[in-house]
Amino acid sequence: MKRWLTWAGVGLLVAGCGREPAPEAAGAPLARPVIALAVKPGAAQTILIPRAALAERGGIPGVFVLSETSEARFRMVKPGRGRDGEIEILSGLHGTETLVLGDLREVRDGSPVKILENADKRR
């Protein structure tokens, strides 16, 4: 089962002089669609994820996992070997999580995530 996700960021702007900040452009996409991680059949519980799912925060490798409240949660992982655009995860994931992909530079722990319907047809 694949789930496609995109994150929606919430910005905070502090303005002085009693003026309200201009509203942001509505409907602007903030991230690309994403795909769930996959456990490869035939492998002894090898967890392979797309290389694009791997992020680094403060020098610590990790991934953003979709929480029950539809938020991105950073989880530390221990990456292993990479091959064919995927990377093996040695620890930190169970293989049942849904991961956030795309441009992860702006994703933070707690960023809201939107699940896109019929995203499998886009691929």
Q: Tell me, what CATH number does 78's domain have?
A: 2.40.420.20
Domain membership of residue 45 (yes or no) is: yes
Domain membership of residue 15 (yes or no) is: no
pLDDT on residue 116: 63
Question: Can you say how many angstroms the Cα of residue 115 is from the centroid of all Cα atoms in its chain?
Answer: 11
Domain membership of residue 17 (yes or no) is: no
Total tally of structural domains belonging to the chain: 1
The mean per-residue pLDDT over the stretch 72-78 comes to 94
pLDDT on residue 70: 84
Domain membership of residue 91 (yes or no) is: yes
Residue-wise pLDDT tens digits, 28-58: 223 333 334 445 555 566 888 889 889 999 9
Domain membership of residue 19 (yes or no) is: no
The mean per-residue pLDDT over the stretch 99-107 comes to 84
Full-model pTM: 0.61
d(Cα 81, Cα 87) in Å, to the nearest integer? 6
Domain membership of residue 25 (yes or no) is: no
Domain membership of residue 85 (yes or no) is: yes
The range of the structural domain enclosing residue 78 comes to 4-8+36-122
